[in-house]
């Protein structure tokens, strides 16, 4: 059951990224190692803000100032980790 | 050939407001749309997409007025001197102008944070209904996103700045009553507080009809596109409050946060179709 829950968050996060960045489904093939900030041309500062807001809205959570960190946007895995921690 | 749009300055109690009027080009007049833009940089990004939709609405029998509120776009004033009440007044005055220019049912068409402003003037304007394009969840979320812009731009420069260092300082400034500057926008403490206090308190609004439009691009086929849970909740809440709700998901990029987003055709046509359904064919 736990594993299923984790997979679900992964899937939902790819939907947020596809929606916000207009990746047309590309996010669904992201692995934990896929680099985001600095590697994905779509990910400019407005898009970063859009992703944070998108995550909050999609998962019904609030990311406080001390929970947001640039390193969370390094890879898909680190971003997933942020959401999983928050929902744990 | 007559020009089918008119840029002009609308005299208001708070100086000249830049407006773009697009008359209907159909033999059948269905109504008017007063477009309320998103907040700050989102307004810049969304502008040409709104204009494109308004152009499509012309042929559907809807005239449009796009207005830059005080201190934004080409209008008089500086953003730092704007207040929520001035913006409300701008919209009420723009609605009067639009009604005089083109009679018929008037719809307040809010985009993102523009929906918050629209909801706040419903009892003054008494529109036929509201159009909500990708509504924000709350004013608090709008303010958070605005402040986070400063953080994200540091990250984009490769600075490993801690969020607390940037956001904490901005919030301290606002709490002390000082204005903050983010991405070239200077926001006063009072405007930030007013914005943060806004929610979509629909139940108290005398708005009978609401058309909600959501834009999504995820990789499934367009026919499988469904509302996000947040939008579905909003629509359910509106219906429960007794409003007639029509909603739609359009396959389109998040154009309000991308400067280069490709225009998606038919967003205006689809929106107009939604309104026709809400009004019934006779309206």
Residues B71 and B203 in one domain: yes
Q: Domain extents for chain A?
A: 2-87
Q: Which of B49, B163, B252 to mutate to test the interface with A (most CBs of A within 10 A)?
A: B163
Does B178 lie in the same domain as B127?
no
Determine the pLDDT at residue B73: 96
Partner-chain residue, chosen from B158, B163, B229, that has the shortest CB–CB distance to A68: B163
Which of the residue ranges A69-83, B179-193, B210-224, B252-266 would you say has the lowest mean pLDDT?
B210-224
pLDDT at A7 over 70: no
B contacts of A57 (beta carbons < 8 Å):
137, 141, 228, 230
Contact at CB, A23 and B217, closer than 8 angstroms: yes
Q: How far is A3 from chain B (nearest CA, A)?
A: 23
Domain A2-87 homologous superfamily, CATH? ACP-like (1.10.1200.10)
Domain that holds residue B162: 143-189
Q: Which of B127, B155, B189 is the last residue of a domain?
A: B189
CA distance A37 to chain B (A): 8
Q: For residue B1, is it within any domain?
A: no
- Distance in angstroms (rounded) separating the CA atoms of residues A2 and B160: 33
Q: Is the pLDDT of residue A59 over 80?
A: yes
> Is there a single domain that holds both residue B132 and residue B162?
no
B214/B273 same-domain check: yes
pLDDT on residue B281:
42
Burial (CB count within 10 angstroms: exposed 0-12, middle 13-18, buried 19+), residue B207: buried
ipTM of the complex: 0.89
pLDDT at residue B59 greater than cutoff 90 = yes
| HEC string for B219-274 | CCCHHHCCCCHHHHHHHHHHHHCCCEEEEEEEECCCHHHCCCCCCCCCHHHHHHHH
Share of chain B above pLDDT 90, in %: 76
Tally of domains within chain B: 2
Classify residue B37: in a domain, yes or no.
yes
Residues near B34 by Cβ (< 8 Å), separated by ≥ 6?
A: B64, B65, B67, B91, B94, B95, B98, B106, B107, B108, B109, B125, B127
Q: Give the residue-averaged pLDDT of B197-203.
A: 82
**Shared-domain flag, residues B274 and B167:** no
Instruction: Give me the numbers of helices (H) and strands (E) for chain B, helices first please.
Output: 8, 10
Domain for residue B266, yes or no? yes
Of B144, B161, B253, the CB nearest to A70: B161
The whole-number pLDDT of residue B280 equals: 65
- Judged against a pLDDT cut of 70, whether residue A13 lies above it is answered with yes
Q: Is A53 on the interface with B (CB under 8 A)?
A: yes
């Amino acid at each position: 059951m736990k594993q299923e829950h984790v997979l679900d968050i992964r899937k939902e996060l790819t939907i947020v990224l596809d929606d916000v960045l207009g990746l047309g489904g590309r996010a669904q093939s992201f692995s934990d190692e896929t680099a985001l900030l600095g590697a994905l041309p779509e990910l400019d500062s407005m898009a970063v803000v859009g992703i944070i807001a998108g995550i909050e809205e999609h998962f019904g959570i609030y990311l406080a100032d001390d929970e947001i960190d640039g390193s969370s946007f390094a890879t898909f895995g680190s971003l997933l980790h942020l959401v999983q921690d928050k929902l744990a | 050939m007559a020009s089918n749009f008119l840029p002009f300055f609308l005299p208001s109690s708070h100086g000249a407001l830049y407006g773009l009027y697009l008359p209907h080009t159909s033999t059948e007049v269905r109504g008017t749309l007063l477009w309320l833009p998103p907040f700050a940089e989102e307004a810049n990004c969304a502008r040409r997409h709104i204009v494109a939709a308004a152009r499509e609405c012309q042929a559907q029998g809807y005239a449009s007025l796009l207005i830059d509120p005080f201190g934004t776009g080409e209008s008089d004033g500086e953003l730092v001197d704007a207040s929520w009440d001035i913006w409300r007044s701008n919209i009420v005055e723009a609605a009067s102008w639009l009604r005089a220019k083109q009679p018929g049912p008037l719809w307040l068409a809010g985009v993102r944070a523009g929906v918050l402003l629209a909801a706040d003037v419903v009892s003054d304007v008494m529109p036929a209904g509201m159009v909500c394009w990708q509504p924000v969840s709350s004013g608090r979320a709008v303010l958070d996103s605005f402040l986070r812009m400063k953080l994200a731009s540091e990250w984009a420069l490769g600075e490993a700045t801690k969020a607390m260092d940037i956001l904490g300082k901005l919030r301290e400034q606002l709490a002390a009553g000082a204005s903050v500057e983010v991405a070239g926008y200077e926001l006063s403490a009072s405007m930030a507080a007013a914005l943060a206090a806004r929610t979509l308190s629909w139940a108290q609004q005398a708005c009978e009809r609401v058309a909600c439009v959501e834009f999504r691009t995820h990789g499934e086929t367009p026919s499988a596109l469904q509302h996000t849970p947040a939008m579905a909740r909003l629509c359910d809440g509106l219906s429960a409050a007794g409003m007639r709700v029509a909603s739609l998901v359009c396959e389109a990029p998040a154009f309000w946060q991308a400067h280069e987003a490709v225009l998606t055709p038919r967003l205006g046509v689809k929106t107009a179709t939604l309104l026709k359904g809400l009004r019934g064919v006779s309206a």
